[in-house]
């Protein structure tokens, strides 16, 4: 019986801000998924709770502080070699910056309309990101007043 290597445990944060999502551009020299836009995040260390790993990765990669999520992820994506958990992140401290230039050559905020023009790391991302933005638009408080 062939023994397969353990699947990589990945955590990512889908940072939303007023109808935009934050993506990081993986450097062309990366071994896995080079030269594509991806969600910020990374590998869960042995013995590390996934929510704690997410808080650490977002701090290391984009320089923002979040409270480690206690609940289940918003979505999960499974690939041939990895299991990825994705949390929706609507609040954080700090301004996102490219804090890991050895991993990413750019970061950026994108609206739903701009996503179709990007080379994304996973086939499922367009629908997933559009759903996150649609949900955000539905739950955003509407301005009151006028009359």
pLDDT by residue (tens digit) across 37-92? 999 999 999 999 999 999 999 999 999 999 999 899 999 998 888 999 999 999 99
- Judged against a pLDDT cut of 80, whether residue 12 lies above it is answered with yes
Class of domain 8-137: alpha beta
pLDDT for residue 43: 96
Q: Residue 140: pLDDT band by 50, 70, 90 thresholds?
A: low
Cα-trace Rg, the chain? 16
pTM over the 0.95 mark: no
Between vectors from CA 87 to CA 44 and to CA 5, what angle results, nearest 5°?
Answer: 30
Structure confidence at residue 147 as a pLDDT band (50, 70, 90): very low
Cα gap 107→96, rounded to integer Å: 8
Q: What are the beta bridge partners of residue 86? A: 12, 75
* Structural contact between residues 11 and 87, judged by C-beta atoms closer than 8 angstroms: yes
């Amino acid at each position: 019986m062939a023994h397969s290597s353990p699947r990589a445990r990945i955590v990512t944060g889908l940072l939303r801000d007023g109808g935009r999502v934050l993506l990081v551009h993986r450097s062309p020299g990366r071994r896995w998924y080079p030269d594509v836009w991806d969600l910020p995040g990374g590998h869960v260390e042995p013995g590390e709770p996934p929510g704690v790993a997410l808080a650490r990765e977002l701090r290391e990669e984009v320089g923002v502080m979040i409270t480690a999520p206690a609940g289940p992820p918003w979505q999960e994506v499974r690939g041939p070699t990895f299991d990825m958990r994705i949390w929706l992140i609507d609040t954080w401290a700090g301004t996102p910056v490219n804090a890991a230039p050895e991993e990413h050559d750019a970061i950026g905020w994108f609206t739903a309309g701009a996503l179709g023009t990007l080379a994304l790391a996973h086939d499922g991302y367009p629908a997933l990101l559009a759903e996150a933005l649609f949900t955000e638009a539905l739950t955003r408080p509407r301005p009151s007043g006028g009359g």
